[in-house]
A and B are shown apart, each in its own frame.
Chain A
Amino acid sequence: MNAQYKKGVLELCVLSLLKQRDCYGYEISDSLSKRIDIADGTVYPILRKLKSDGLLTTYLQEESGGPPRKYYSITKLGREIYERDRAEYLQFAQAIRTLLEDQPDDKA
């Protein structure tokens, strides 16, 4: 599938995961690459961009037997933008779906 399609919605997917709970970078990369066919590395630039836009914050948390992990947490602004973009995307996807499925050739 075209990589351009996916890139646009990955930010939305990351926000969706973080809306449920705080995660560290690898968790997000792992759970996304399990469901969507993307290069594992692409999640990190997205996390950094979302952070610099103020949609995410980070904090360090000690883990037993290891270096502290950097956790990402969604901000209030992040939630607001997520809700807006989610609604927009769902509407868009629904419209495209209807358009693509409604092929006269199929019926003929």
Chain B
Amino acid sequence: MTKHEFMERLTNALKRNGIEDISEIIDEYEQHFAFKMADGFCEAEIAAKLGDPLQLAAQFCGDAPKKAPAGKRVGAIARLCFTGFWAGVFFILLAAWDAVLAACSFGSLAVAAGLLGKLGTWQAIVPMPYGVATVFSAAMVTLCVLMSVGCVYFTAFFRQLIRVYGRFHRNTLSAAAGGPVLPPLAASPNFPPKARRRLRRVALVALCAFAVLTIWAILLAMITSGCLEFWHAWGWFGYAA
């Protein structure tokens, strides 16, 4: 088969199959012939190695973008507006929770600094001996670490959720337009294994240290003040002793 015959058969078969942009396909095969001939092959060899034009033409079937009816698209957009509204509300709620975690983390650190630094305000609100205050402030530091880890993880989770929703959004529109649908994303954040192990270790250590230090601080406070309800004994939050 000569190049001319090959091209003619291919073009006719593509036309019969109703393929669009035939010239683009023909160009690729023209180039293929050009490269192979530059390497010293003859037309018949190249055509034989390319394969049967009819079979090749059949392989181009089924990749043409399907035109979706306009109604389907409008329906998809309406659905997305609805889900978008609720997802938006949900995301605001999640962002607020992230802010709460960050504030808790910062707050614990502020309490720890106040207790350790003998700041006047803290002395007035929760008066206690300095020895007890150091243990309490150490407990607060571990709480701050724990909250920070929570905050980091939650932020990553939140980001991933937004990406998941973005993918869903794209897929819905694409499906309505007859385009390809992509695989959905996993909802859990994907930290690199090393970072994930480190985060988990820090969180576990902080949790244990927080539990031990808090119990120790409370016991120490009870022993020092000489009664179970030490907050009454020391007149915390303005309670009279």
Alpha-carbon distance between A106 and B51 when the two chains are bound, in angstroms = 39
Contact B182 A77 (CB under 8 A): yes
In the complex, chain B residues whose CB is within 8 Å of the CB of A48: 24-25, 60, 63
Most B CB contacts (10 A, CB to CB) among A42, A45, A53, A77 go to A45
| Contacts of A35-54 to chain B: CB distance below 8 A | 39-42, 44-49, 52-54
Contact A41 B29 (CB under 8 A): yes
Q: CB of A81 within 8 A of chain B?
A: yes
Picked from B51, B63, B179, B182, the residue with its CB within 8 Å of the CB of A42 is: B51
Q: CB of A29 within 8 A of chain B?
A: yes
CB closest chain-A residue, reference B179: A54
Most B CB contacts (10 A, CB to CB) among A30, A41, A44 go to A41
CB closest chain-B residue, reference A44: B28
Contact B51 A52 (CB under 8 A): no
Count chain A residues whose beta carbon lies closer than 8 angstroms to a beta carbon of B.
25
CB closest chain-A residue, reference B6: A41
Q: CB of A70 within 8 A of chain B?
A: yes
Convert A13-38 into 0s and 1s, putting 1 for each residue whose CB lies closer than 8 angstroms to a CB of B. 00000000000111001100100000
Count chain B residues whose beta carbon lies closer than 8 angstroms to a beta carbon of A.
23
Contact A39 B32 (CB under 8 A): no
Main secondary structure of the interface of A (DSSP, over half): helix
Q: CB of B64 within 8 A of chain A?
A: yes
A41-B180 contact given A25-B31, A29-B32, A48-B63, CB 8 Å threshold? no
Picked from A25, A39, A52, A84, the residue with its CB within 8 Å of the CB of B49 is: A39
In the complex, chain B residues whose CB is within 8 Å of the CB of A54: 179-180
Picked from A39, A46, A53, the residue with its CB within 8 Å of the CB of B50 is: A39
Contact B28 A25 (CB under 8 A): yes
Q: CB of A86 within 8 A of chain B?
A: no
Tell me, rounded to whole Å, the shortest Cβ–Cβ distance linking B71 to chain A: 24
In the complex, chain B residues whose CB is within 8 Å of the CB of A39: 49-52, 56
Convert B201-212 into 0s and 1s, putting 1 for each residue whose CB lies closer than 8 angstroms to a CB of A. 000000000000
Q: CB of B183 within 8 A of chain A?
A: yes
In the complex, chain A residues whose CB is within 8 Å of the CB of B31: 24-26, 69-70
Q: A25-B28, A40-B32, A44-B25 are in contact. List 10 more A-B contacts (CB 8 A).
A: A39-B49, A39-B50, A41-B29, A42-B56, A42-B59, A45-B60, A48-B25, A52-B63, A81-B182, A84-B183
The residues of B with any CB-CB pair to A shorter than 8 Å are 24-25, 27-29, 31-32, 35, 46, 49-52, 56, 59-60, 63-65, 179-180, 182-183
The residues of A with any CB-CB pair to B shorter than 8 Å are 24-26, 29-30, 33, 39-42, 44-49, 52-54, 69-70, 77, 80-81, 84
